Amino acid sequence: MKKKCLECGTEIIGRIDKKYCNDHCRNAYNNRVNKDSKNLMRNINNRLRKNYRILESFKLTDGKTRTTRTQLLHRGFDFDYITNLYTTKKGTTYYFIYDLGYLPLDNDYYMIVKRE
């Protein structure tokens, strides 16, 4: 029995375990199969990357600096997208995007910190 390419259906020549006739068909097949989940993940990763670049754009002195909520929002920061939370022994919660994070302070101020 001759094997056929999973994407285009042409006859496959070569190894027994080969599933696609070429790289183009392999990529097209996997892109089609993973389309829905990839769009969601791509959008989330893009949002996280943008938030990270915004935090990174602030000059950190001794690993931290202060800014306002307005400045963050003006640059396009989205507070809904973070990678993890860190709660100190005192109960203070830091919101992190990879190794950069922020701590909400009083009067809509935020402290931006870098985890070492």
pLDDT for 38 equals: 73
What is the average pLDDT across 25-31? 93
Domain boundaries, the chain: 34-114
Residue 29 has pLDDT above 90, yes or no: yes
Q: What tens digit of pLDDT does each residue of 73-96 get?
A: 999 999 999 999 999 999 999 999
Considering the chain, what is the average pLDDT of its residues? Answer: 91
Report in angstroms the alpha-carbon separations of 103 from 18, 82, 91, 94, 106. 52, 12, 12, 5, 10
Tens of pLDDT, residue by residue over 57-78, are 998 888 889 999 999 999 999 9
Residue 42 is predicted with a pLDDT of: 84
